[in-house]
Structure formats: structure tokens, C-alpha cells
Structure 1
Amino acid sequence: MITVSPSRRRAMRNYYRFSIFNVISYTFLAGNIIILYSLRLGATSALVGLIAASYQVTFVFSLVGRRIIERVGAVRLFGYAWLVRYLMMVPVLLTALPGIRDRTALSLSIITMGVFGFNVAKGVGITGTKPIVGEIPPSRERGAFLSNHHLVIQLGAIVTGIIMALVLGQESPLGRYMLLLAVGIVAGLFASYFILRLPEPRDAVASFAAGAGPGYRSAFAPGPFRTLASANAIAVFAVSMVQAFLVVYLKRVYGYADGTIVFFTVAGAAGGATMALVSRAVMDRVGSKPLVFGFMLMIVAVTVPLAIAPSVSGVWVLLFPSFIYFFFVMGQMGVMNAADNYFFAVTEADQRLDLGIVFGLGSGIAGTLGSFLGGLFLQTLEHAIPHSVTLPFSIHFSVAGVLIVLAMVRVTALPDQNSYPISDALGMLISPRDIRTIRLLNRLRRSRTVGQEHAAVAALRGSRSRLHVEELAARISSPSLTIRMEAIGALRAAPLTPYVEELLIHEVETHLFTTAHAAAELLGEARVERAVPALRSALDTNDYMVCARAMVALAKIGDRDSIARIESLLDRSPNPRVTIYAVKALEIFGSIDSLPLIFGRIDRRSEHFVRDELILSCSAIVGVFDDFYPLYTTFLDDRDEGYQTLTDLSHPVGGPVEVPDGLVDAHTDPRDFVRIAAGFYDRIRIHVTGIDVAPFIADAVRNRNVGRLERFRFFVAAIAILTVRLGMADAR
């Protein structure tokens, strides 16, 4: 169960609303539509690369934003810069006018300058995003919040992409492009309005007035931020090489029309939405680092078929490019989302302004170089290999894939930072067990009532995944008894962390008569040695439940120094549960020296079920439990059948000793039975881990109070027969 303050919830809603209008505006103003429009007007590969590069170079202007933010604040800087951003695209509408569109150089110049201004304003405004976004959601929900933001973007891109596909077709009139651009500008105005309704960040505001120099210098100091920034820059460079020329690749190699290509971008948006759904479910569970690595691996996988450029026919004419866009955008957006979340994890609020600028600059410069140099590289390849349309693209995408692999190597050098190791996390994402656990944990996170929380925790019982341990740890401290009990029970099959062990030890010490016994049991099952002092102290409490569980827990941990105290409890406690758990603890210890005490405890007046437990534990200590148990249950169900089974087993087996004639038949005469049984045990040795237990049994048989108990007489006869048959007995 999570609680988000109304002000945070309102800020999150406004940010999602901004995201909706922003994606509408961006889809209709930037990216593929502007590239398609430029190609219609005669743009070359180099110019396409330059236009694509302008989307990255804008981050340089975040340095301008850094100088303004102190005077106007993060929210107003972000909002007003975004307003200017969309207004910069108004001149592009003029390129559809007859007097301008016929002048190719002028039209392309207006487009290039409009796009450049569009992105310059973005560069200024984006300065405030890291401080703002870093404080909108609670830190424990930041991964889900960022993923929801991307989900909104990608779902919006799907809708707007479908609209573009319907509006644009082969050789679409330029007026249709202008209509979409105009809608994009209007949507951008609404996006700016919702930015201005966001709260000003409080924790980061102190850094606005501070000098930027120390912050910038700290970015280059060895540490996780520098490693992240370098890995991200390499990845952005390679991704830009691919992204900028996918449209060109599909048009020139496969001959797709503009409208068809726009349809494929919808598949890309679906990939981005899938990424957001996956990341929302798992990022706060497995951590950001393995997701950065995994999504980079996905991009590498995409570059392989791009480099091969297979011939397609039939349904593959549509499926091949759709899959390419789907997985490429899924990987691209996934890297961006996970890297942002890792950035927030390794930076403090007062660092995010300056480090965010450095991070953005690194991405922007890398993206600019990737797009522009990628265009020059591709154009050079096309001139060098004029006889092939495909080969230049194959080389181009192969180089991009190799660069992504280099970025992956850098990612492995990042500290885990609340993440699982990469191999473990990727294994979890394909494990049905862990996927089920993730689904249940998300259900737990969304719970709003105690009943929902209890049901979600209860559903996690039996899970052996490591994913839910920390989540359930918080429930161990719940004020609700039922929630605490369910949380402890749900951890039973999971590996415990040191933090959870401390919580359980505290539970044993402070929650007597409620959940201490459950915590003691779990500590014993997990063999937590540092819990021994608390468990020993629990033996002296008035809470018989925790006392009983603590004895068994100490036995499972192997604290043999506790045997004397457990024997004392067995000897003096009248409580049936304490008696049963004490003898079970001695059984786990394999405490052969405790047999005389247990035999003596059998003769006391007590319920039959208590004596049954004592007798069964004695058989386990002697080492014949598996053979004795079915005989004993047969005897309890049907006395005559039980004795008949013993008689059948007592026939000579040709060993060093034989069961005396009449031992089983003497069960009807206690005195005769004591005489035969005691004499037999006096003549033999039964070695159990080097200790002869026959004298213990002989002494117990001679005890009048014990010998008169029929269940014990059956035990004595059965032990004699079984030890002989199993070769455990020999003559003295």
C-alpha cells in the first residue's frame, strides 16, 4: 500500500497532461514528418542528417538555461521556453505557399532554421526538467512514474501516428503536411500551459544560485555518474546513426511510400508503449542498471537484420519493417527511461541541475555527431559503392551495432545501485516465477485498503523469488497484526537479507503474544546465527508460543549450548506445546543423551497425543523413524494388526542377535514383558553415533510407571525388532 500526498498526485497528473499534448505536438512537428516533408522538397542525405542532428545539438543551449534559471525558476523557464519552442515552427507553415515552396533552397532553409529554433528553445527549457521531475514522484515510485510518462508518450504517438498514416500517403499534397504542423503548434501551447501548473522544486532550488563550476567539475570525477554519462553518450551516438536513416533506408532499399513508413512508426510507438509497460512493472523491482543493459542488447539485435537487409515478400513486406521499428524504439526508449532513473538514483537533489546539464550535453553532442557524421559516413559509402544500394546501409548499421556493444561494456562497470546483478535480473525477466512475483508486488503497491494489502501479501506466500523480500520487509513493521503475520509467512520460502533478519529479530524481542513466534520460526528456518541471543532470551518468556518456536529455531541453527535449557523446559513445563516443541528440538539436535529424560517424561500424566510425539521423537533419535512410523500408525489404528505386523517381523534374520521368543506376545502381561525386554536390552548394544542406547531403554522398561504404558511397550518391542533387522544391534 502506497500513499502519495494530494500535492504530489496533482503534480503527477499535470505532468501526464503535459506529456499528452507534448507528444501530439512533437509527432506533428518534428521527427519523421519533418524529414519526409524535407525529402519531398528535395533534401539530400547530408541535409537530412543535419536536420536530425539539430534535435541533439540543442542541449548546448541548456548552458543558457543555467544562467536564466536563478532569476525565473525551473518551472517558468521550462514552460516559457516550451512556448517559444512551438512558436518557432510557425514560419515552417509558410513553406507550403506557392511563392516559397517552388524555391527549394529557401524552403529548406526555413525548415532548417525553424527546426533549429524549435530545438534551441528546447535546449534552454530542458534545463529545468531534471530538478522538477526529480521531486514530483516519491523516490520509491520514480521508476513507475517515468515509465508511465513514457507510456503516455508512446500511446499518444500511436494515435497520432495512425492519424499521420491516414492523412499522408504516396505523394500527399503539401497542404496535408501543413495541417498536421498547425495542429502540432496548437497542442504545444496546451503543453506549455500544463508545465506552468507544476510545483517549483524545493530541494533543488538552493543549487540554482550556486556557481555552476563545482557542479560541472564533479561530473568528471571518477564515479557512477561519469560511467553512466559515457555509456549513454556512446549509445546515443549509435542510436542516432540508426534513427536518422531508418526512413531513408526503407525508402531507398525497399521503396516504401511516405504513408506506409508513417504506419511503421506507429509500430515503433507500440514498441515504446510496451517498453513503458514492462519498465513500469519491473524497474522498481530489479533496478535500472540491468534494464539499461537489456534494452541496449535489444538495439544490437535490431541492427543485425538491418545490416543483412533480407529480401521480403508476402506478409513480411509489412511485418519486417514493423518489427524493426517496434524493437528499435522499444530499446531506444528503454535505454533512455532506465538511464534517467539511474541518474536520479546516483544524484542528490542539489546536484541534478548541473549534472543534468552535463548529462544532457553529453547526449546532445553524441546525438548530433551520430546523426551528422552518420549522414556523412553513409553518403561517403554511397559514393564509394555506387553499384549497391544495400551495402552502404549494411556497413553503416553494423558499425552502429558495434558501438552499442561498447556502451554495454561500460554499463557493466556501473555499481548496481539498488539493482540486481545484470545476469540475475535478465534471468528474472524470463522466469515465470519471478514474473508472477512482480505482478503480485505491483498489486501490493496499488492496494488502497488493509483488505487489499492482506490479500496481496497472502498471495506472495510460497514464492521463492528474491524480488519480494524488501517489499515485504516494510510490512513486518505494519501496525496491523494480520499484515505482519502474512508478511512473515510470505517470506518463508525467500532468501532473507540482513535488513530483514534485523526486523525479524526485533519482532521476536518486542512482539510477544502476537507475531514473535512466527518471526522466531522463520529465523530458525533461515538458519540465522545472529538471532541466537534473541532466541535464547525467548526461552524465558511467558509467551509459550514464542518459547516453543524458539527451541526448534535454536535446534535448526545448531546452537547446542541451548540443549540444557531445552531439557529443563521439557522436564518442568506442563504446557503440551512446549513439551512437544522441546522434544522436537532435541530430535533435531540428535541429542542421544536426552533419551533418559524423554523416557521419564513419557510416564507423566499427559494427553495421548503428547506421548505419541515423545515416542516418535525417540524413534527418530535412535535412527529408525522411517521404519517405525508406519508400524506405530498401524498399531494406533488397529492394535491387533500392529502386533501381528511386529510378530511377522520378529522372525529370525540370521544376524549376530535374535529377537527373543515371546517378546511381542508378552505385551498382554506387563510384568512378563518387562522381564523379557529388559533382559534382551541388557544382553545387546545398540550404537547410535557411537553411543550405546540399549541401557537407556532397559532402564526405562524397568520403570514401573513407564513399563505399564502399552504404547511405550509397543515402542520397546518395535525398536528391538527394527534394530536387529537393520543390523544396528550386536551382543555384548
Structure 2
Amino acid sequence: MIVKGKLTLSQQVAGRNRFLFFSLINGVSFTCLADNILILYSLKSGCPDYVVAILASFNFWCNVFMLFGKFLTARYGAAGAFGISWILRNLSALLTASAPLFTMYISNRAGIYALVIGIFGFFSFKSSGTVAYSPLVGEITSPGNRGKFSSRISQFANFACMITMCLIILVMHFTQSLSTYQWIIFTGAISGFISTFFVFRIDETEMPRISACKSIKETFLTTLRVPKYRKMLFAYCCCNSGIMFMIPISMMAIKEGYGISDYNALVFAVVQLAGGIIIASISGVLSEEAGPRPLIIIYFCCMLLLAFCWICAPVKFFWTYAIFLFILGGMCNSGTYMTLLHYFLISVPEKERVGTILFISLVAGVCAGIAGTVISSSLIRYLHCLNLAPLDMYRIYFAAVLIIMFVMLFFVCRLEPIEDWRIGKVLSLVFAPRDIQALYFLNRNENIRNPAEELENIEKLEDIGSQLSEKALLSYLDSPKLVLRVRALQALRQIDFGKNARDAILEELKYGEYATAPTAAQIAGERGIKEAVPLLLKGLDSQDNYFKGRCMLALVQLKEKSCIERIEKIFSEAENPRLVVHGAAALAEIGDPAALTLLLRKAIVTTLPERVRYEIIYSISELSGIADNFYKFLRIYQKDRNEGIAYILDYIEHLNANQLDPAFKKLLESYSENRTGNRELIDMLLKKTDDEKRKIISTIDEFLKSCPSEKLYPEIIYCLVAIHRMCGSV
């Protein structure tokens, strides 16, 4: 039904559900009326090979009837045009099923004519409905779910196809008569009528009808004039021709090249559908993430591989080899159509979809028809005249096709990129289990749910740690809940993100004060996002102390030297624990021994919490190069003071290859047992380093001389002794 204005979200959801029901039931119809069934039925009816090749090419030649589909869309809308075309398609299927009656009661030639007319009508009205297919899918989807919904359509259809094909094989196990094929085609027509009910109930706007009202000449000129559309036209022509060269002829090759039964041939039709189901499970989400263009190129290259595999096919029939060929063929067939549809929907505006798909499909269909009628049929007919063995004949056929398709690959590769991945990056997913896991998860989950489920999704994506999670994680930055936005940013830290995520992080830095800006600053520093420097410098003046502290550390990580004096000033004046902690980490990251004085002075401030003081002491050890072992000391010391002291005394003794001065060692042990005070140990330490010229030691000594000994905590003294020992002073 055509509605005024835009479709509501609920109308779109209802439309998608009805379209999926259509796809499921039509999958039954599609299987019963599939190319392979019609090819086997035609062979069973006594049609010569070259006539069968022509019949297979009708799938493309009949795209001329898309003009009729444009007329229907302009008058009845996309859903109406689709429904009417499907009714006429199924009536033609009934005529096809009745062809043997013409043979029985009139003549063999009349039966073949009825078969040809029925199949011609079937493909003609199927083509007229195809005009409305893409605009209708565009009406009930949004840019964020088109790739995934295209995948779900294929999953539903392929599932129904596979179940139906298994039932057909079961029937064929008992009988392979001509009447069996008639009943199969009849079932396909009836299920097709039933599926049409759901199409008529899909709501749509007036946009498809408006688009269909544009003059054909204007549409054709636009398609040829716009470079993106022109390149897409060439790619469609090459892909459709490649499918025509490979998929139907593969069934003929397995049937006649190895002389297998109809029953076994249908087994391979199921295998081909299984290949489509496999690729539909991942292609939709992958197309959303990687872009459809690299996938189109990969699928076309896989058709080249399929041709090469047929050339190298063994003389003896092997099930495993044949199964591989048909799985590969199913993946190419299903994957190519899915990604071409996705590329079309994101490339062509709504107002131009009907006319553009009409022209592209029409020209592409004619090219594929020529490929089937002129090239495939003529080549097979010529090879028959050479009296070759059937398998050798098809080997030569696929060799000739391989050469032609190598030329066509050039035009497929010229598709304009739309924020695509490199092909090598897509292929590398084969060796990336985490990315495959992420694809599976993304394919099964919607981004917008309740807060608890969204948090669970974010945590799952974080655990997977795949770059493919980037787009989904970025979508959670629009959540009204702070905890979800922060968790999404934290999850982004775990993956190798791209430009979109970098831009989002800059946005959070700019507008996320008191919220997500601190986490964004942390990521900017860790990932070296230089574009964030101006925003981080501005953050040093923020009243949000957590954000201010993160900015200090991030600027140091980004090697921004102009802000060092400001950071030192902020740290020396800071009383807020967050500023002190992050300032200490920033000074340690700078690594300048001159910053040691600031850290030492802050470490003796009695008003700071113990945990904050430990952060400062650790920063001192980090700046001095003893961080790892001193960290262990602090951990042990907090749990058990005596065990911690035993650890640090042993560490200090073995920190330097030279023997520890016995007198100092004795005094240090006395200090650890509380028999000696701070002053005696400090005096001996200063005495041992009177002539020391190293900056770090002289800095520490100046501090010790000016600092009242009673203000020094034991952890600080042990740290300073360890630094002296490392430098060889004691």
C-alpha cells in the first residue's frame, strides 16, 4: 500500500518481516522453478543441448521486459508491480509444466514450443518484477541495515531452497519420471502465488512511483553520463555474464561430462544452495563493514577459479572435488547478487532507483543473454561437432570462458570505491578467527536494545577484540547513558580502529567534558592521535580535574614539548588526587631527571591519601628505571611489611654487580628493624655520594639535604636507596 510521507519505523519493520515471509515461501517456489530444475526438465523433455543453453540465457535476455515492470511501478507502486509480475510469472510456470501435454496431444515440436514460450514468459515476468525489487527493499530499510537485511533475505530464501531441494531429491530417489518434474514445477507455481500475498501487504512511499515516472531517455542518459553509474553498469554486465557462463553450464558439465543421474545432479543443486547459505551468513555484515566493492571483485575472481577448476577436473568422478566446485559456484552466485544489490542501494539516490536499475538490469541482461545465446550456446554446439568426449568438450569451453572473463575482470575492478577496505585486508579474514567470530556476533545482534543488553553487547565485542566491531561500537557513542558511552570507548581501545573512530574520539574530546572526554583523551594519547593536541591543550584549562589529568598524560605521550612547563606547574600546585596521580604519570613519561624534584616534594605531602603517594613513588621509580621490581616491592609491602622489606633488601643488594658497602648494608638492615632512624641512614647515603656528578643522584641529594628527615616515608627511602645502588653510589 502506498502511504503519503515517510514510512514510520514500525511500518519499515513490518515491511521487512513481510518481505522475509515472502522470501521464505518464494524460496520454495524458486527451488521448484530453479534454473537447474528447468534445465533437467528441458533435457528430460528431449530438448537439444544448444536449445537448453538458449533457455538458460532467457534468464538474462528477458530483462527487456523490465520496461513493462517500469510501467507497472509507475501505475501501482513497487509492491503492486512486484505482485502483479509474480502472478504472471507463476501462470507462465503452469504453462511450462503443461508442455508434455502439447507433445502428447499435438506434436513433439508443439511441446518444445510450449516449453520455450512458458520459460520465456516465466523469465520475462520475473524480470518485470525485478525492477521493483531493489526500490522496495530500499523503502523498508535504512542505510545502517541494508547490507545485513540483504544477507537475511538470502538466508531465509536459501534455507527454504535447501529444505525444498532435499525433499525434491528424496522424491527423485524413488522416481525421476517426466511427470515428477511436472509436479515439482506445479508446486513452485502454487507456492509462488501464496508468496505474492505478503508482497501486496508491504507499505511504501510514493518515491518508487515518482522515480518510475521519469522518462526512460532521461534515465538512460543520466546512467551513461554519471561515471559511478557507468562503471556500475559495466560491472553488472560482466558479473551477470560471468554467472551465465559458469553456473548453468556447470550443471550441464556435471550431468553430461560424468554421465551422472538426475538424482545425483540434484544433490549438487543442494550443495550449490549450501554454498549460498554459507556466504549469506557472513557476506551481509562483511559488506556493511568492508564495503560491497571488494567483495564483488573477490566473488568474480572466485568464478575465474571455478573455471580453472573445471579445466583441471579429473577424468574420474570424485564426489569431494565435485562438491567443492558447486559450493564455490553457490558462493559466487549468491554472494555476487547480494553485494551488487548493496552497492546499488548505497550508490543510487531514492529518486533515481527505479529508472537506474531498469537500465542497468536491461543492459546487463542483454549482455548476459548474448553470453548465453551467442557465446555459450554457439561454442557448445561447435564443440559437439568435433565429436569430443563430453568432459573434454566442457574443459575447452571453460578454458575459452576463462580468457573472456579475465578481460571482464578489468571492468569489475573499475567500480568506484565507497569507503572500502583493501581486497588484501578482506582476504586476511580467512586467517583471523576473532574477526569471523565478530562477524557472527554482529550478524545475530541489533545495536539498539535496552541498556542492559547493549552493555552486554559492548562487553562481548570488547572480549572479541576484532576491528570489525568498530562500526557497532561507534554506534553506542550515541547512547544517552554515560556508562554505555564510556564502555564503548574503552572497548575501542582494544581494537585497531580507523578514521571514523578517530573522528569520533575527537568529537568526544570536544564535547564530552565531565563525561567521556577523559577516556577519549586516554585513547588519543595511547594511539598517537596528533590531531587531538589542540583539544588536549585546551583541556589543561578544564574544571574537570579527571579530564585535565588525562590531558596532561596524553600530551606527554604525544611528545608535545610546548606544554611541559604548564604540566609541571599544574602538578606542583595540585591538591586534587586525580591531578596528582595523572601529573605524576606524565612527569615519569617525560623522563627528565629535573622533574624528580617535583615528584619528591609531592611525595612527602602529608595530606595526600596513601594510594596517591604510592602512585607518586612508583612514578619516581619509573623515571629512575627500577619500576618493575619496585612495583613488586610495593605490592608485597602492602600485604606483609616484613616480607616486603626482605624482598627490597635482597633486591638492593643484587641490583649492582659491585658488592654493597658492608657498613651501609649493616645500617640499612638496622633501619629496616627500626633500630636506626631516617637521619642516620640519610647522612650515610649523602656521605657516600659527595663526589657523585650524575644529575639524578645530585637531584636526590639536594632534596635529602633540604627535606626534614621525619617527613620521609620508609617506601620513599627504600626507593631512593635503590636508585643510588643502581647508579653504583653504594
| Both proteins in one fold, TM over 0.5 | yes
Bigger shift: residues 549-558 or 539-548: 539-548
The answer to whether residue 35 in structure 2 is matched with residue 31 in structure 1 is yes
| Cα separation, 1, equivalents of 2:238 and 2:219 | 22
Cross-structure match for 1:676: 684
Bigger shift: residues 183-192 or 667-676: 667-676
Kept in 2: contact 1:169–1:257 (CA 8 A): no
| Cα separation, 2, equivalents of 1:222 and 1:133 | 23
| Cα separation, 2, equivalents of 1:652 and 1:22 | 81
Kept in 2: contact 1:599–1:706 (CA 8 A): no
| Cα separation, 1, equivalents of 2:645 and 2:18 | 81
Cross-structure match for 1:351: 352
| Cα separation, 2, equivalents of 1:137 and 1:42 | 45
Kept in 2: contact 1:57–1:364 (CA 8 A): yes
Q: 1:152 aligns with which of 147, 153, 156?
A: 156
Kept in 2: contact 1:268–1:328 (CA 8 A): yes
C-alpha distance 672-401 of structure 1, shift in aligned 2 (>3 A): same
AA at the equivalent of 2:360:
F
Cross-structure match for 2:590: 589
Kept in 2: contact 1:95–1:101 (CA 8 A): no
Q: Figure out how many residues of one structure are paired with residues of the other and give that number.
A: 712
Question: Where in structure 2 are the equivalents of 1:317-716 lying within 5 Å?
Answer: 318-372=319-373, 373-384=375-386, 386-445=387-446, 448-461=449-462, 463-605=464-606, 606-626=608-628, 637-638=641-642, 641=646, 644-645=649-650, 648=653, 653=658, 661-662=663-664, 665=667, 668-686=676-694, 692-706=695-709, 709=712, 710-716=714-720
C-alpha distance 628-225 of structure 1, shift in aligned 2 (>3 A): same
Kept in 2: contact 1:706–1:712 (CA 8 A): no
The answer to whether residue 11 in structure 2 is matched with residue 7 in structure 1 is yes
- Offset of 1:381 from its aligned partner? 1.4
| Cα separation, 2, equivalents of 1:716 and 1:173 | 95
Kept in 1: contact 2:147–2:288 (CA 8 A): yes
1:628-679 Cα shifts (integer Å, max 9, x gaps)? 556677777337636753784599939xxx9695476275254444443334
Kept in 1: contact 2:299–2:335 (CA 8 A): yes
1:131-172 Cα shifts (integer Å, max 9, x gaps)? 222212122111121122222222222233233323346984
AA at the equivalent of 1:619:
S
Cross-structure match for 2:3: none
C-alpha distance 560-294 of structure 1, shift in aligned 2 (>3 A): same
| Cα separation, 2, equivalents of 1:256 and 1:490 | 54
AA at the equivalent of 2:686:
A
1:424-460 Cα shifts (integer Å, max 9, x gaps)? 1121244112112223333542663221110010122
| Cα separation, 1, equivalents of 2:645 and 2:333 | 77
AA at the equivalent of 1:580:
V
1:31-88 Cα shifts (integer Å, max 9, x gaps)? 2333223222321112111211222111112124334533333332222222122223
- Offset of 1:253 from its aligned partner? 2.0
1:451-482 Cα shifts (integer Å, max 9, x gaps)? 11100101222555322222211212310122
| Cα separation, 2, equivalents of 1:511 and 1:650 | 46
The answer to whether residue 277 in structure 2 is matched with residue 276 in structure 1 is no
Kept in 2: contact 1:268–1:326 (CA 8 A): yes
1:602-651 Cα shifts (integer Å, max 9, x gaps)? 33214444443333322332344456556677777337636753784599
C-alpha distance 93-708 of structure 1, shift in aligned 2 (>3 A): closer
C-alpha distance 682-256 of structure 1, shift in aligned 2 (>3 A): same
- Offset of 1:108 from its aligned partner? 0.3
Bigger shift: residues 645-654 or 36-45: 645-654
| Cα separation, 2, equivalents of 1:58 and 1:650 | 85
Cross-structure match for 1:141: 145
| Cα separation, 1, equivalents of 2:74 and 2:635 | 83
Question: 3-state DSSP class of the match of 1:341?
Answer: helix
Kept in 1: contact 2:103–2:111 (CA 8 A): no
The answer to whether residue 220 in structure 2 is matched with residue 212 in structure 1 is no
Bigger shift: residues 478-487 or 460-469: 460-469
- Offset of 1:705 from its aligned partner? 1.8
| Cα separation, 1, equivalents of 2:635 and 2:211 | 76
Kept in 2: contact 1:663–1:676 (CA 8 A): no
The answer to whether residue 304 in structure 2 is matched with residue 296 in structure 1 is no
Cross-structure match for 2:86: 82
AA at the equivalent of 2:155:
L
Cross-structure match for 1:689: none
Question: 3-state DSSP class of the match of 2:535?
Answer: helix
Kept in 2: contact 1:49–1:371 (CA 8 A): yes
Cross-structure match for 2:66: 62
Question: 3-state DSSP class of the match of 2:144?
Answer: helix
1:341-385 Cα shifts (integer Å, max 9, x gaps)? 11111111112112101221133112212221201101101212x
Q: 1:42 aligns with which of 14, 36, 46?
A: 46
Kept in 2: contact 1:239–1:370 (CA 8 A): no
| Cα separation, 1, equivalents of 2:447 and 2:42 | 47
Question: 3-state DSSP class of the match of 1:416?
Answer: coil
| Cα separation, 2, equivalents of 1:643 and 1:380 | 90
C-alpha distance 94-596 of structure 1, shift in aligned 2 (>3 A): closer
Kept in 2: contact 1:643–1:664 (CA 8 A): no
AA at the equivalent of 1:678:
L
- Offset of 1:537 from its aligned partner? 3.4
C-alpha distance 591-45 of structure 1, shift in aligned 2 (>3 A): same
AA at the equivalent of 2:488:
A
Kept in 1: contact 2:656–2:725 (CA 8 A): no
Q: Structure 2 length normalisation: TM-score? A: 0.90
Bigger shift: residues 103-112 or 179-188: 179-188
Bigger shift: residues 154-163 or 627-636: 627-636
Kept in 2: contact 1:556–1:588 (CA 8 A): yes
Q: Gapped runs of 5+ residues in structure 2?
A: 1-6
Cross-structure match for 2:269: 265
| Cα separation, 1, equivalents of 2:53 and 2:75 | 36
AA at the equivalent of 1:393:
Y
C-alpha distance 669-113 of structure 1, shift in aligned 2 (>3 A): closer
| Cα separation, 2, equivalents of 1:614 and 1:161 | 71
Question: 3-state DSSP class of the match of 2:99?
Answer: helix
- Offset of 1:98 from its aligned partner? 7.6
Q: 2:231 aligns with which of 223, 227, 232?
A: 227
| Cα separation, 1, equivalents of 2:282 and 2:571 | 55
Q: Structure 1 length normalisation: TM-score? A: 0.89
C-alpha distance 387-602 of structure 1, shift in aligned 2 (>3 A): closer
Cross-structure match for 2:56: 52
Kept in 2: contact 1:460–1:490 (CA 8 A): yes
Q: Percent identity?
A: 22
| Cα separation, 2, equivalents of 1:46 and 1:202 | 45
Q: Gapped runs of 5+ residues in structure 1?
A: 687-691
Kept in 2: contact 1:235–1:403 (CA 8 A): no
AA at the equivalent of 1:244:
P
- Offset of 1:223 from its aligned partner? 2.5
